[in-house]
Amino acid sequence: MKGTGRVRVLVVDDSAFMRRAISAVLETDPEIEVVGTAGDGLEALEKLRSLDPDLVTLDIEMPKMDGLTTLKHIMKEHPLPVLMVSSFTTEGADATLTALELGAVDFIPKDLSMSLDIVKIRYTLLEKVKAIARRGLRRRAPAGPKVLTPPPERKFEVIAIGVSTGGPMSLQKVLTKLPADLPAGVLVVQHMPPKFTKPLAERLDRLSTLEVREAVDGDEVTPGRVLLAPGGRHLRVRRKGEVEVGEEPVDALYKPSIDELMASVAEHYGPWGVGIIMTGMGHDGRSGIRLLKRKGGYVVAQDEASCVVYGMPKAIVEEGLADAILSLDEIPGYISGLLSQRSGGYTC
């Protein structure tokens, strides 16, 4: 932004077509300026020093220096927000998750033909670039937990989590701090395309003491099990103790949809359900959370200071739907306290 108010972006990709395509999309927004492009990691590092951008879009597979190696150098030498451009393959998904662990903020998928569906990704790309660049890598000090409604003394049976931009690493931080004997099932919608959610579930399963897997139709909701919605399909509760995975509604803005999950939890669990809305753009989850609140469920929103993008939680907070507003670090302890119902046990 550097005094102009515009977000300055460096586009890095070994494909000249991709560099042009991404640049063309970004330059349709008057709030964004493409200050340069690079065809490999070495060139990118050189241009970083001279151009000093606010954000980098970075391909993973490149000659001379690949995206992951380049990312390591960026985080060490010139830390700034990085948005990965990743192929729609299992290998691409694995590399993307590694990139997120190394410090990349989020990613945009591309298909095997090395093309971007401009119509589909234009809005998402523009909004992600602006939100992520303006947020930067800075984290404000948390204000401390804000419990607006004391948790009721009841045995909650399911935890439903909705998350989007910045979600994979946020989920990792939460799930890896929950105990193996968690006395409730966990259902998660993370906005991700197909082929990305299964590797994410496998990674979380390795890192966590909980059982984490990509959900399939008919899976049981059981204590200590985490079911992650598959990319491109909705996850809903069919009946208490069982989920369904399907395509309907086909016209949903997001697939998987947080609203669909929360609405089904409201219907089948009501006051025995907890809804948690974490980092992400937009307001998916708001209408489903409204229903959960009407049915007596308990609602937690992640605070602004710890969000990568404070969009979805903000929508919940501004409508007065949140019972507690917590930092990312506080959420696991609060979940454990809600479920243990021990005296004074709502620790963060």
Cα-based distances in Å from 314 to 156, 303, 341: 25, 8, 27
Q: 196 vs 136, which has greater pLDDT?
A: 196
Is the model more confident about 124 or about 39? 39
Domains within the chain, CATH numbers bracketed: 7-135 (3.40.50.2300), 146-340 (3.40.50.180)
Strand order across the beta sheet in which 82-87 lies: 32-38, 7-12, 55-59, 82-87, 106-110
Question: Is the confidence at residue 345, as pLDDT, over 50?
Answer: no
Q: How confident is the model at residue 124 (pLDDT cuts 50, 70, 90)?
A: confident
CA 18 to mean position of chain CA atoms = 24
pLDDT, residue 197, reads 96
Q: Residue 330 corresponds to which amino acid?
A: E
Do residues 242 and 218 touch, judged by C-beta distance below 8 A?
yes
Q: Which residues of 40-79 are buried (b: 16+ CB within 10 A; e: fewer)?
A: bbbbbbebbeebebbbbbbbbbbeebbbbebbeebeeeee
Model confidence at 22: pLDDT above 50: yes
* Strands of the chain, DSSP E: 7-12, 32-38, 55-59, 82-87, 106-110, 146-147, 158-163, 185-190, 211-214, 225-228, 234-239, 242-246, 273-277, 298-302, 324-326
**pLDDT > 80? residue 111:** no
Structure confidence by residue, pLDDT tens digits, 278-304: 999 999 999 999 999 999 999 999 999
CB atoms within 10 A of CB 27: 12
Residues in the chain, total:
348
What is the pLDDT confidence band of residue 230, given thresholds at 50, 70 and 90? very high
DSSP 178-211: S-TT-SSEEEEEE---TTTHHHHHHHHHHHSSSE
Reported as a pLDDT band with limits 50, 70 and 90, residue 88 is: low
- DSSP H or E run through 66: none
Segment 219-225 shows an average pLDDT of 98
- Please state the rounded mean pLDDT for residues 174-195: 96
Show the CA angle centred on residue 103, arms to residues 20 and 283, nearest 5°: 75
CB 219 within 8 A of CB 228: no
Q: Is the pTM here over 0.95, yes or no?
A: no
* pLDDT grade for 85, boundaries at 50, 70 and 90: confident
What is the per-residue pLDDT across 147-169, written as a single tens digit (0 to 9) for each? 888 888 899 999 999 999 999 99
Is the pLDDT at 114 greater than 60? The verdict is no
Q: Residue 119 pLDDT > 90, yes or no? A: no
Residues known to be catalytic: 164, 191, 284
For residue 182, give both structure tokens: 């968690």
pLDDT for 343 equals 33
Token couple for 60: 């993973």
